C-alpha cells in the first residue's frame, strides 16, 4: 500500500512538513494549497525537494465550488482551474482534488454537474492532469459518495474520477460497503481520517477534531477492507484537521500518522486473509494482547520512601540487582522494580512496565515496525536481555515471556529469599491498573500506540473534576482485564511543572481480595494514607444504604467506596511521594470501573498537599 | 440586586473559592456538592467561614433524579434528600436545587411529578428548607421551564418553587418572555449563564462551554429584563461550567464573574428605565463608545528601531516628553507614543491605548466600578492627568477627551514642530485597528472587559491557520468602526514564550487612502517590508481577474489584496521588531474585513523569521 499524507495535518512550514513526512517513511504527500501559498519555495523547488526526499507529490488540493453553477460562473471557474493546472504541471502533480460545491452551487441537477465536470475533464486532460471529485458531507447538493459517483459515472470522462474520504462518509453514518461496487479505475484518490464520536455540526467536527485512524471511534478497518475489495491500489492518504496536531511537534506527529496507516494495513490484512486483491497490504508480526504485567518499575534517586511504602503494603524485599542499584520487591507474583539509577536524586515516578507476552521477540519486532523507538538496556552476556520501546508519554514498555518466575529475577538478590507463589501474607494478587499522565499534545498518539503496539482496547473516556481543571481519563485494557492502563490528560496548569512536587502524579493500583486486611496491615506498619474528608462519608451514607458498621470501617481505614449495580469497589490511596502514589483496590461482584466518583476526593487532597509543599 | 455564584465556576479548593468570591465582592455563593465533598472543612466550619467573609450561602446543589419514579425509588430518594436537608441545616442553607430527572424517571406524568414534589416539600418544610425545581434542557420528561412551572403550580406547596437557568432556557431557543407571567414568589432561585453559539449536543455545550453573561451569544439582557418584570428580587447567581475557567486563576475569574453581573445590571437598568420593580438594579455612569483613538503607546527599551519604522511610514518626531524618556510621533492627527521607560532594554510591544471619550472621568469611574484596576501614571501638577485601567491582556487603557490637539501634547517637544492637521505628507489618516495577543486563559474575560468598559461590539470570530496552530481572531469594534480591536488567541506553543523574539507579535494598523504612495515612500526610506511569496501572487491571479499591471504593482510593493463583493482591501506589513510590527491598510468601496485570507502569509513569514532569530 502506498502511504501518503496531506501537508495540512502537521505543523511548521512546507519544508518542515516535507522533511518530517520523508523521515517518518511516507511514500508521498498531498500538497495543501495554503501551505504552498505561504511558502517562499517555488513550485519547481518544491518538486525538486520532494524528489530529493524520495516523496511523490500525489495530490493538489483543494479546488472548491466548481459545479452546479450558471454558465458565466462556470467560465470563471474554468479560468481558475486552468491556473491551477499550470501550477500542477510545474509541481509535477497529476491529480487535483475537487470538493463538491458548498458555496456557489445554484442548480441542483446531477446531469448538469456531470456536463460541467466533463468540461473540466477536457481542460484537465489538455494539461495531462485529472480530477478527483469528492462529496463533502456538507456539500450544497452533493454530500454522499453515492451521489458523487453517479455524477462521475454520468460525466464518463477519463480525466474525471472520485476521491473517497472516510470522514465524509462515516460522519454521516453512510454505509461504506458500496465502495466495493465502484470500478477501481474510477477511484482516483482515497483519504482517511478517524474522529471521536461527537454530536456536533459536521463542519466543526471535521475541521477541528479529526484524528489518525485508530485514534477515534470510526470503523476504519472495515472501511479499508471495502476499499481493498474494490480493487483500488492507489495511494491511501491521511487528511486530518486537528487543532492539537497543528500545534504539535511535526516529526512526532508525522510518525504518529504513519503508524496509523501501518496499523490499519495490518488489521485489514488480517481481516482479508486468504483473499487476493491488487493492493498489497503489509502485515506485521501477529501478537496477542499481553496476559498480564510482569513488573512495574519505579525510578527514583531516593528509593527509601518508595521502599517503605511497598513494605507497608506487604511487599518483601527480594534483593539488589547484582550490578546495578536496582531493587526487586515482590508480593506473591506481583513484582515492583525500584530503579535507583538516577544521579540527581529525582522524585519517584513510574518509568517502565513489563508486559507478559507469548512472543517477546515478535512483539518487539512489531513495535519497531510500528515506528516505536527501541529502548536500549545494558545487559551482560549472562543476563536476561529485556527488549522494549518507548511509549509517547515516556514510559518504557518491555516485553517479557509469560512466567511466574521470570529469568531476569535470577540477577537479583543472592542471599535474600523470594516469597514466591501465594503465601499467606501475599494479599496483593496482581497489578490492577496503572495510571499514566499524558501531555495533551500526545494523548491521541498514546492511544494509537497502546492500541497498535500492545493491542489494548479503548474504553469510553470519563472526565473527573479537580481543583486545577477537568482531568480526562481514558482506560485502555485487554478484553479480559488482565492489563489495564488509565491514561490521564494532564490539565494545562500542571503540564509544564517540573518533576518535583506539583506535577500530575501517576500511580500503580494493586488488586487484593481482602482490602480490609491490607489496609489494617498498612496501618499497623505506620503507612500514611491519603486522608478522606468526613464530608465524603456523610455523602456516602446519603448515596447508598450502607450499614453503620461498614461505614465506620470505611472511614476508620480511609477507604473509598463505589457501587455499580451489583458490583462494589473499595480502594485506598497512599500519600504521594514525588510524582508517584500507590492504590489498593478490591473489586467485588464483577465491578469493572475505577472509582471515578471518588477520584475528585483524591485530586483535591493531592492538590492541597502539593500547595503546602510548594510554600 | 443580590449577586451570587456557584462554587463550580472557579478553580481551587472550597476555601480558595470562598475567599476569591468574597474579595471580588459577591454577596453570596451556591455550594456545589462536589466542592463540599472533597473539602476537609466541616459544614459548620464552612458556615462560619462564609459568615466571617460576609458571604451568604444561597443554594445547595444539585439534587438529582428525584421525581417521575415508582414508589419504592421515591422512598429511597426521600431518604437521600433527608440526609441533604440535615446537611443544609448544618450549613445554614435554606434552598436546594432539584434538577429535573434525567436518569431514573420512568413515568411521564406531570400530576405524579407534582404529587412527588409535594411530598418532598413536606419533608423539606420539616427541616425549614425549600426546593427550587429546575428543568434541565436534557431532562428525561421535563425539559422546559414552562413544564417545570406547570408541575410546581400543580404541587402547590410553599416549600416548592422554581429555579430558572438562562442556559437551559436559551440553549433550546425557548422564549424567556413567559417568565414575566410566573408569580415572583414561586421563583426561588435564578442562575445565569451565557454561551457561545455552537451547534452540538446540549449536554456537552452546557458542561464545557458556558461563559459569563456578556461573553457569549445569548441575549442575557432581555432575559434579565423579563426576570425583573416578573417581580423577582432574590439572588441572581452565576452557574458556569467552563473548562478554561476551571483551570484559571481563581481570584481573577471571580472578578470576571462579578463584572458580568455588574454589566448585566447596568444594561437591564438602562433597558427598564422608568419602570419600577422590586429588584434594585445598580446602574453605572452611562458612557458612549469611544469616538476614536487618541494615541497608541509602544513601550520599548530600545526606541530607535520603532522610531525608524514610524519615520519610514511618514510619521514625524514631535518631541521628547519634558521629564520622561518618552517620544511623541505623529502624522496628521495620528499619534504614537514611544515610551522608553524600560530599564531592561526590552523588545518593543504595544503597552497602552488612549481612547477618545466624551466624559473621561465618567469612563474611568465606570471602569473602576466594573472592577478594572486603575493604572497609576505619575504626573506633576502642571501636567495633564491621564486616567486609565489595565485590560486583562495587560494593555493599559486610557481615557482622553475627544480633541484634535490633546492637552497632554503640550508636555512634549519644546523646540520641535508638530505637523498638525492634514498636511500634504500626512497620508495616514487614522489608526485602523490594533491587534492584541490574548492568552487563552483570559480571552473570555477580555471580551467582557472591552464590551463592558469600552462598550465595544463583538463581531463573529475567525480562525486563521499558522505554522504553529490555528489562531482565533475576535474583532471588537464600535458600531461606526472608529475603534477596532482584533483580539488574537495565542496558540499554546507560543503562550509561554518570553517577550523576546518568539512570542506572538501584536500590531498597529494605520489607515490610508493612498497605500501605493505610503508604500513607495516607505520603500524610498529604506523600509523592510514583510516579504510576500511569489506563490501568493500567482494564486491571487487565479483567484481574482486582476489586470497584470495591478498585479505587478502589488507584487513590487509586497502588498496583499483581498476582495469582498465590491469592497477591496490592500495592505502591507513591516518586519517585526520585538513583539511588534506595523501594518498599513487601505479600504476601498466599503470593505469591512481585515484580510483574513492573507493573515496566513504573514504568520508563516513571521514564524520563519522567528526561527531564524532563535537559532
CA–CA separation, A187 and A226 (whole Å): 13
Query: Is residue A235 over pLDDT 80?
Result: yes
Q: Shortest CB distance from B201 goes to which of A83, A199, A538? A: A199
CA–CA separation, A557 and B98 (whole Å): 33
Q: How many CB atoms lie within 10 A of CB B278?
A: 11
The pLDDT assigned to B418 comes to 63
Q: Which whole number is the average pLDDT over B584-602?
A: 96
The answer to whether residues A329 and A338 touch, using CB atoms and an 8 Å cutoff, is yes
CA–CA separation, B510 and B583 (whole Å): 6
CA–CA separation, B484 and B28 (whole Å): 37
Contacts of B543 in chain A (CB under 8 A): 80
The pLDDT assigned to B383 comes to 80
Contacts of A469 in chain B (CB under 8 A): 11, 243, 246-247
Is B535 in contact with A36 (Cβ distance < 8 A)? yes
Contacts of A80 in chain B (CB under 8 A): 542-543
- What is the SS3 string spanning A275-305? CCCCCCCCCCCCCCCCCEEEEEEEECCCHHH
Query: Is residue B491 over pLDDT 90?
Result: no
The answer to whether residues A312 and A524 touch, using CB atoms and an 8 Å cutoff, is no
Supply B29's cell numbers.
455563593
Smallest CA–CA distance from A496 into chain B, residue: B496
A507 is annotated as contributing to ligand binding: yes
Q: Shortest CB distance from A246 goes to which of B43, B469, B608? A: B469
Is A79 in contact with B545 (Cβ distance < 8 A)? yes
CA–CA separation, A110 and A148 (whole Å): 9
CA–CA separation, A502 and A493 (whole Å): 10
The pLDDT assigned to B415 comes to 56
Smallest CA–CA distance from B76 into chain A, residue: A545
Buried b (16+ CB within 10 A) or exposed e, B309-325: bbbbbbbbbbbbbeeee
Q: What share of chain B is helix, strand, coil (3-state, %, to 5)?
A: 35, 25, 35
Q: DSSP labels for A337-353? A: EEE---TT-PPPEEEEE
CA–CA separation, A561 and A394 (whole Å): 32
Chain B: give the shortest CA distance to residue A560, in Å. Answer: 12
**What are residue B582's DSSP bridge partners?**
B508
Q: Which whole number is the average pLDDT over B82-96?
A: 98
Query: Is residue A251 over pLDDT 50?
Result: yes
Q: Quick one: angle between helices B443-454 and B250-271, nearest 10?
A: 30
Contacts of A36 in chain B (CB under 8 A): 535
Distance of CA A416 to the CA centre of its chain: 41
CA–CA separation, B495 and B393 (whole Å): 12
To which H or E segment does residue A605 belong?
helix A599-614
Buried b (16+ CB within 10 A) or exposed e, B584-595: bbbbeeebeebb
To which H or E segment does residue A473 belong?
strand A469-477
Cα separations in angstroms, A420 against A293, A405, B228: 16, 8, 74
Smallest CA–CA distance from B82 into chain A, residue: A542
The pLDDT assigned to A413 comes to 75
CA–CA separation, B313 and A349 (whole Å): 57
The fraction of chain B above a pLDDT of 90, given in percent, is 83
To which H or E segment does residue A425 belong?
none
CA–CA separation, B532 and B130 (whole Å): 67
Q: Shortest CB distance from B42 goes to which of A79, A534, A541? A: A534
Is A533 in contact with B37 (Cβ distance < 8 A)? yes
The pLDDT assigned to B573 comes to 98
The pLDDT assigned to A499 comes to 44
The fraction of chain A above a pLDDT of 90, given in percent, is 83
Chain A: give the shortest CA distance to residue B201, in Å. Answer: 5
Least reliable range by pLDDT among B77-91, B318-332, B404-418, B534-548: B404-418
Domains and CATH numbers, chain B: 3-271 (3.20.20.150), 292-614 (3.10.180.10)
Smallest CA–CA distance from A13 into chain B, residue: B467
Q: What share of chain A is helix, strand, coil (3-state, %, to 5)?
A: 35, 25, 35
Give the pairing type, strands A387-390 and A457-458.
unpaired
Smallest CA–CA distance from B468 into chain A, residue: A247
The answer to whether residues A585 and A509 touch, using CB atoms and an 8 Å cutoff, is yes
B507 is annotated as contributing to ligand binding: yes
Q: Shortest CB distance from A247 goes to which of B39, B80, B493? A: B493
Cα separations in angstroms, A506 against A126, A300, A341, A496, A598: 62, 14, 19, 15, 16
Close Cβ partners of B148 (under 8 Å, ≥ 6 residues apart): B100, B133, B134, B135, B142, B162
Contacts of B469 in chain A (CB under 8 A): 11, 243, 246-247
Mapping DSSP to helix (H, G, I), strand (E, B) and coil, where does residue B442 land?
helix
Residue A488, φ and ψ in degrees, nearest 5: -110, 125
Q: Shortest CB distance from B34 goes to which of A465, A541, A605? A: A465
Q: Which whole number is the average pLDDT over B65-77?
A: 97
Closest of B336, B218, B301, B246 to residue B17, by C-alpha = B246
B191 is annotated as contributing to ligand binding: yes
Give the pairing type, strands B396-401 and B387-390.
antiparallel
Query: Is residue B344 over pLDDT 70?
Result: no
**What are residue A30's DSSP bridge partners?**
A6, A59
Q: Shortest CB distance from A601 goes to which of B38, B465, B607? A: B38
Close Cβ partners of A499 (under 8 Å, ≥ 6 residues apart): A346, A347, A349, A578, A579
DSSP letter at B328 equals E
For testing contact with chain A, the best of B32, B37, B203 (most A CBs within 10 A): B37
Is B199 in contact with A204 (Cβ distance < 8 A)? yes
Confidence of residue A379 (pLDDT cuts 50, 70, 90): confident
Q: DSSP labels for A75-110? A: HHHHHHHHHHHHHHHHHT--EEEEEPPSSS-----H
The fraction of chain B above a pLDDT of 70, given in percent, is 95
pLDDT tens string B201-255: 999 999 999 999 999 999 999 999 999 999 999 999 999 999 999 999 999 999 9
Chain A: give the shortest CA distance to residue B604, in Å. Answer: 6
The pLDDT assigned to A377 comes to 74
CA–CA separation, A91 and B38 (whole Å): 61
The pLDDT assigned to A542 comes to 94
Confidence of residue B501 (pLDDT cuts 50, 70, 90): very low
DSSP letter at A356 equals E
A329 or B497: which leads in pLDDT: A329
A433 is annotated as contributing to ligand binding: yes
Chain B: give the shortest CA distance to residue A539, in Å. Answer: 7
Confidence of residue A346 (pLDDT cuts 50, 70, 90): low
CA–CA separation, A454 and A293 (whole Å): 12
Chain B: give the shortest CA distance to residue A123, in Å. Answer: 15
DSSP letter at A586 equals E
The answer to whether residues B496 and A497 touch, using CB atoms and an 8 Å cutoff, is no
pLDDT tens string A537-555: 999 999 998 999 999 999 9
The answer to whether residues A257 and A9 touch, using CB atoms and an 8 Å cutoff, is yes
Q: How many CB atoms lie within 10 A of CB B10?
A: 29
> What are the DSSP E strand ranges found in A149-257?
160-165, 187-192, 236-238
Smallest CA–CA distance from B470 into chain A, residue: A243
Amino acid at each position: 500500500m502506498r502511504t501518503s499524507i496531506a501537508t495540512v495535518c502537521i505543523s511548521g512550514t512546507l519544508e518542515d512538513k516535507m522533511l518530517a513526512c520523508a523521515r517518518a517513511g511516507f511514500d508521498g504527500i498531498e500538497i495543501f494549497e495554503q501551505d504552498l501559498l505561504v511558502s517562499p519555495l517555488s513550485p519547481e523547488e518544491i518538486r525538486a525537494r520532494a524528489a530529493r526526499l524520495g516523496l511523490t507529490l500525489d495530490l493538489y488540493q483543494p479546488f472548491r465550488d466548481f459545479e452546479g453553477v450558471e454558465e458565466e460562473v462556470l467560465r470563471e471557474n474554468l479560468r481558475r482551474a486552468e491556473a491551477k493546472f499550470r501550477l500542477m504541471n510545474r509541481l509535477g502533480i497529476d491529480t487535483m482534488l475537487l470538493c463538491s460545491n458548498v458555496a456557489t452551487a445554484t442548480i441542483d441537477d446531477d446531469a448538469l454537474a456531470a456536463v460541467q465536470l466533463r468540461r473540466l475533464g477536457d481542460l484537465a486532460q489538455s494539461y495531462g492532469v485529472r480530477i478527483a471529485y469528492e462529496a463533502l458531507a456538507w456539500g450544497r447538493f452533493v454530500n454522499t459518495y453515492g451521489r458523487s459517483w453517479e455524477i462521475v459515472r454520468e460525466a464518463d470522462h477519463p480525466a474525471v474520477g472520485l476521491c473517497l474520504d472516510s470522514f465524509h462518509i462515516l460522519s454521516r453514518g453512510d454505509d461504506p460497503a458500496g465502495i466495493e461496487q465502484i470500478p477501481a479505475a474510477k477511484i482516483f484518490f482515497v483519504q482517511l481520517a478517524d474522529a471521536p464520536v461527537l454530536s456536533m455540526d459536521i463542519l466543526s467536527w471535521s475541521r477541528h477534531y479529526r484524528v489518525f485512524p485508530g485514534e477515534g471511534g470510526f470503523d476504519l478497518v472495515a472501511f479499508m477492507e471495502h476499499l481493498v475489495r474494490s480493487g483500488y491500489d492507489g495511494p491511501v492518504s491521511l487528511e486530518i484537521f486537528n487543532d492539537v496536531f497543528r500545534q504539535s511537534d511535526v516529526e512526532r506527529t508525522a510518525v504518529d500518522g504513519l503508524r496509523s496507516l501501518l496499523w490499519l494495513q495490518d488489521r485489514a490484512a488480517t481481516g482479508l486473509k486468504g483473499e487476493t486483491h491488487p493492493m498489497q497490504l503489509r502485515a506485521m508480526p501477529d501478537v496477542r494482547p499481553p496476559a498480564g504485567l510482569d513488573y512495574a518499575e519505579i525510578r527514583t534517586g531516593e528509593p527509601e520512601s518508595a521502599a517503605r511504602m511497598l513494605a507497608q503494603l506487604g511487599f518483601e524485599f527480594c534483593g539488589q540487582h547484582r550490578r546495578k542499584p536496582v531493587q526487586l520487591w515482590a508480593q506473591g507474583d506481583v513484582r515492583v522494580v525500584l530503579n535507583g539509577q538516577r544521579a540527581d536524586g529525582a522524585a519517584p515516578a513510574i518509568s517502565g512496565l513489563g508486559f507478559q507476552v507469548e512472543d517477546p521477540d515478535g512483539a518487539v519486532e512489531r513495535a519497531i515496525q510500528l515506528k516505536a523507538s527501541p529502548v536500549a538496556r545494558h545487559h551482560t552476556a549472562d543476563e536476561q536481555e529485556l527488549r522494549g520501546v518507548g511509549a509517547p508519554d515516556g514510559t518504557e514498555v518491555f516485553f517479557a515471556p509469560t512466567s511466574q518466575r521470570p529469568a531476569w529475577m535470577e540477577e537479583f538478590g543472592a542471599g535474600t529469599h523470594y516469597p514466591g507463589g501465594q503465601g499467606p501474607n501475599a494479599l496483593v494478587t496482581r497489578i490492577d491498573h496503572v495510571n499514566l499522565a499524558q501531555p495533551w499534545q500526545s494523548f491521541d498518539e498514546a492511544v494509537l500506540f497502546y492500541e497498535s503496539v500492545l493491542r489494548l482496547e479503548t474504553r469510553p473516556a470519563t472526565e473527573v473534576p479537580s481543583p486545577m481543571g477537568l482531568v480526562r481519563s481514558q482506560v485502555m485494557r485487554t478484553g479480559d482485564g488482565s492489563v489495564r492502563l488509565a491514561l490521564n490528560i494532564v490539565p494545562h496548569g500542571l503540564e509544564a511543572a517540573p518533576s518535583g512536587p506539583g506535577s500530575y502524579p501517576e500511580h500503580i493500583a494493586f488488586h487484593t481480595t481482602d482490602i480490609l486486611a491490607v489496609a489494617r496491615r498498612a496501618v499497623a506498619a505506620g503507612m500514611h494514607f491519603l486522608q478522606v474528608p468526613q464530608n465524603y462519608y456523610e455523602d456516602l451514607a446519603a448515596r447508598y444504604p450502607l450499614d453503620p458498621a461498614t461505614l465506620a470501617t470505611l472511614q476508620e481505614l480511609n477507604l473509598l467506596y463505589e457501587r455499580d449495580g451489583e458490583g462494589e469497589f473499595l480502594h485506598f490511596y497512599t500519600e504521594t511521594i514525588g510524582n508517584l502514589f500507590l492504590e489498593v483496590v478490591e473489586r467485588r461482584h464483577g465491578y469493572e470501573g475505577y472509582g471515578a466518583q471518588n477520584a475528585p476526593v483524591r485530586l483535591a487532597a493531592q492538590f492541597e498537599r502539593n500547595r503546602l509543599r510548594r510554600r
